[in-house]
């Protein structure tokens, strides 16, 4: 695929305590472009990046546990991008705010999470595996979704 010159905007929307902006699911074409294995590869890169990140203490302690967490997350993102409902089948309804409630997620941690996700997206961008429009749609989802997960102050 050849999608041309990049016009991506990876700016991070400012977090405002107590405000949960509406979330728009990513364009399903993002998943169609990269495929299920591409999504799994993306989440593997992301979780291995988190394992080395300044916020690694809120994630599993071992690489193997991180790989499993990455697989669960890939199931979620495949489902949220209109793919098969793997997450529901394997883990039940997402209820992501409840699932993240036990973890200390601050606005600062959100920034590290997003930067790590942007880094994980780079091979997709470099290899032009999806259009800028579809990548942007995925990023926009992450940008808002991540605000919903914040449950602690810095």
Q: Which of 152, 114, 149, 151 is nearest to 21 (CA)?
A: 149
> What DSSP assignment string belongs to 85-127?
-HHHHHH-S--HHHHHTTS---HHHHHHHHHHHHHHHHHHHHT
C-alpha distance across the termini of the chain, in Å: 42
* Helix 107-126 × helix 28-51 angle, to 10°: 120
Q: What six digits make up the tokens of 3?
A: 């999608």
For residue 24, pLDDT beyond 80: yes
pLDDT tens, position by position, 32-79:
999 999 999 999 999 999 999 999 999 999 999 999 999 999 999 999
- Which band of pLDDT confidence, cut at 50, 70 and 90, is reported for residue 95? confident
Half-sphere exposure of residue 61: CA atoms within 13 angstroms, side-chain side: 0
Question: Are 27 and 133 in contact, with CB atoms under 8 Å apart?
Answer: yes
d(CA 137, CA 5): 17
Predicted local confidence at residue 90, as pLDDT: 84
What's residue 5's pLDDT? 56
Global pTM value:
0.92
Which pLDDT does position 3 carry in this prediction?
A: 45
Topology (CATH) of 30-149: Globin-like (1.10.490)
The full set of domain ranges for the chain reads 30-149
Torsion of the alpha carbons at 105, 16, 30 and 113, rounded to the nearest 10: -30
Predicted confidence (pLDDT) per residue in 99-129, tens digit = 887 888 999 999 999 999 999 999 999 999 9
């Amino acid at each position: 695929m050849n999608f041309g010159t990049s016009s991506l905007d990876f700016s991070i929307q400012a977090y405002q305590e107590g405000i949960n902006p509406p979330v728009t699911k990513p364009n399903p074409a993002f998943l169609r472009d990269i495929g299920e294995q591409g999504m799994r590869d993306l989440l593997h890169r992301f979780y291995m990046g988190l394992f080395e990140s300044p916020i690694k203490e809120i994630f599993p302690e071992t690489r193997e546990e991180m790989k499993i967490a990455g697989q669960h997350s890939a199931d979620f993102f495949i489902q949220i991008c209109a793919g098969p409902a793997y997450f529901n089948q394997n883990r039940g309804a997402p209820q992501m705010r409840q699932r993240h409630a036990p973890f200390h997620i601050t606005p600062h941690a959100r920034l590290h999470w997003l930067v790590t996700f942007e880094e994980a997206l780079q091979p997709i961008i470099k290899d032009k595996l999806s259009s800028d429009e579809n990548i942007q749609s995925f990023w926009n989802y992450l940008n808002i979704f991540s605000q919903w997960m914040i449950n602690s102050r810095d």
